[in-house]
Amino acid sequence: MTVIKKSKRKRKHFLISSLLIGSIIAVGLLALGIIYAVVMIRDLPSPEQFETRQINQSTKIYDRTGQILLYEIHGEEKRTIIPFEDISDELKQATLAAEDANFYTRPAFDWRGILRALWVNIKTMSFSQGGSTITQQLARNVFLSGEKTITRKLKELVLAIELESKYSKEEIFALYLNQIPYGSNAYGIEAASQTFFNKPAKGLDWAEAALLAGLPKAPSYYSPWGNHTDDLFSRKNYVLDRLYDLKKISQKERDDAKKEKIKFAPPSLGTIKAPHFSLMVKEYLVNNYGEEMVTSGGLRVTTTLDWPMQQIAEKAIREGADRNTTLYDGKNAALVAQDPKTGQILALVGSRDYFDMDNGGNFNVAVQGLRQPGSALKPFVYMTAFQRGYPPQTMIFDVPTEFVSNNPNCPTAPIFGNSTECFHPQDFEPFQGLISMERALAQSVNVPAVKTLYLVGLKSVLANAHRFGITTLNEPWRYGLSLVLGGGEVKLVDLVNAYATLSQEGVAHEQTLVLEVDDSHGNILKTYHDNASWVIDPQYPRIINKILSDKELRAGLFQNSLSMTVFPNRDVALKTGTTNDYRDAWAMGYTPSLVVGVWAGNNDNTPMQRRGTSILAAVPIWSAFLNQIISKYPTEIFNSPEPAVPVNKPMLNGQSTPPIHSLLYYVNKDDPLGSAPQNPADDPQFMNWEDGVMNWVSS
């Protein structure tokens, strides 16, 4: 024991000594670096040069031809220099709380912060920490690039020292508030206040001030008109908490400011095409190249967007959402079109009108929206069943069934209890009795889908969904058997990618928005490469493609609307989805060359009227879009699956012979092609299914 303690003390002394020596070396290197930088940097510009500084070059985002300019980022600065006294005290205090609470009491740089950041960077082998004061940030924003290098940091320190030797703290703070970028071309607090709130900076209240004070950390990411408004409001609340901790506001002021409903001015993005798509590309660029490079580096970006197709998509969404507003009280819709052979997004409409702030138009439902997919998830459940060994012709009973076992509040079908713990899904149409799996999928019948999910297991279905491109559905404990009816939430852009993988028979292509990024000198920073991988044996997606493209199989579901789903001489697969409360309506359709997904509903997630089903609210938009572009693609057919091996087993062979029983009477769900179970009642769902079948037979 004594030897162990001595060994621990030695290690501790060694670590302390190493840290001390490292700190001394770091401070020495820092001092040498400062001396070196002083030689490089002698004179600072006058304050007038701060005020007239210009952004060098704007970044331009183009369509896939490189000819249509979609969006120019920071083509010019919006800045109005105002006196320090014309800036509200709320904004000043909020900025100090967010960025540098000790600004007035410490020198140009925080040596503790620098050492702390250095230690973190050494441990993580990165340059992620900076430890910058307001003075350092001013020096960096005005004179230096955003590159994370030791040389740049040294220059920043020297400039900060020089600034504080020439200007007072108040002058530096005024220069900072008049210079820093707040996003959307707004440089300085006056431009930011006018841009986001249509009011002068001297009129900001605590909530508005805290929100604006949080923007400089990452102006594009936290943009009020971008994809991360939840994070923006979280940062606003963080600033308010800091103000309270620093005793700058009372608890009541903090709580009132957190509750205040902030009203933003309509977005002013200048000339922009495909705004939801273009802003996604901007976010991608900032994440990969940094805010500084995007705002002033003069990047030239060629995207995947097909501009003619995008215009057709926007028209289809606008007209379809207008129609849905009148008929079903569904004010918005979204569409994503993707080339399944490359993963390239060809068109993306996030809502009916980006600039319609009253209906949350800037909210990008295609990417930001977490919506329940309804029956649009069923193909992945049945595909997992076919993978497990169940043939498509497997017969299964569509009858009233209670899936909760041993609950006295849930009597057996068809008389159901009212307990919220019960689960007895209904069909949109009358129960059909005995039905094959392939017909149940094509006609989107609910009870067989729930039974199929039980047969294959939630874990297996989620694994396939994730392999096919779904990035959500990561909380299996809260889904249960309701997943197949929309019990989880997905993103439209992910669902399109999953159907694209179906289209390509199990080959998943990485989704992409960008084909090429060039710097201002013409050097290629990024070029498109297809990242593809096999995720499943092609036999099983082929079975799904065959079922979903069979017009005769789906005719019973669409009835009078069938013509909207038929394109002469074309193989077109289609799956719809409607949530039980009519909040979400989906149409997911594809050919071997194109995948198109449409969502219809309301951006605030309020339900549509009961008639707002997928067939009436989403399919017409999908059909209108596809009708105008499908002729541009070659005529292709889906490959047929390999012939099924005959199965000599009741129900699995497509036949049910007396005596009548549920499927669980004949199969062990984990080994459907093996021997029949000796005691079917061992399965916890057997009696539930059997009771439903017996009640159906007797009626």
Q: What is the CATH number of the domain that holds 564?
A: 3.40.710.10
22 within domain boundaries? no
Note the pLDDT of residue 644.
81
Confidence of residue 54 (pLDDT cuts 50, 70, 90): very low
Q: Please list the alpha-helical segments (H only) found in 549-584.
A: 551-558
CB-based burial label for 104 (10 Å; 0-12, 13-18, 19+): exposed
Share of the chain above pLDDT 70, in %: 83
Do 518 and 436 have their domain in common? no
Average pLDDT over residues 431-436: 93
Do 453 and 516 have their domain in common? no
Note the pLDDT of residue 269.
66
Number of domains the chain is built from: 3
Confidence of residue 194 (pLDDT cuts 50, 70, 90): confident
| Alpha carbon distance 190, 23 (integer Å) | 42
Do 170 and 283 have their domain in common? yes
Confidence of residue 7 (pLDDT cuts 50, 70, 90): low
327 within domain boundaries? yes
574 within domain boundaries? yes
In this model, does residue 14 exceed pLDDT 70? no
Note the pLDDT of residue 429.
78
Number of helices (H), then strands (E), in the chain: 24, 16
Do 542 and 506 have their domain in common? yes
Q: Which residue has the higher pLDDT, 521 or 15?
A: 521
Dihedral sign (CA 588, 589, 595, 600): negative
Note the pLDDT of residue 213.
95
pLDDT per position as a tens digit, 480-527: 999 998 889 999 999 999 999 999 999 999 999 999 999 988 899 999
Share of the chain above pLDDT 90, in %: 58
Lookup: tokens for 292: 């500084």
Do 110 and 247 have their domain in common? yes
Contacts of 168 (CB under 8 A, 6+ apart): none
pLDDT per position as a tens digit, 93-123: 999 999 988 888 877 665 555 555 555 544 5
Average pLDDT over residues 222-243: 90
CATH code assigned at 272: 1.10.3810.10
In this model, does residue 129 exceed pLDDT 60? no
Highest-confidence segment of 258-267, 271-280, 292-301: 271-280
Per the CB < 8 A criterion, the answer to whether 351 and 333 are in contact is yes
Do 80 and 212 have their domain in common? yes
Do 378 and 367 have their domain in common? no
Distances in Å between the Cα of 142 and the Cα atoms of 129, 133, 220 are 20, 14, 18
Average pLDDT over residues 692-696: 91
125 within domain boundaries? yes
Average pLDDT over residues 48-72: 74
Per the CB < 8 A criterion, the answer to whether 337 and 598 are in contact is no
Do 379 and 470 have their domain in common? yes
Note the pLDDT of residue 291.
83
Lowest mean pLDDT among 42-51, 307-316, 458-467, 623-632: 42-51
What residue numbers bound the domain in which 510 lies? 304-371+491-641
Average pLDDT over residues 384-401: 95
Note the pLDDT of residue 421.
73
648 within domain boundaries? no
Note the pLDDT of residue 55.
38
Per the CB < 8 A criterion, the answer to whether 668 and 674 are in contact is yes
| Alpha carbon distance 301, 68 (integer Å) | 11
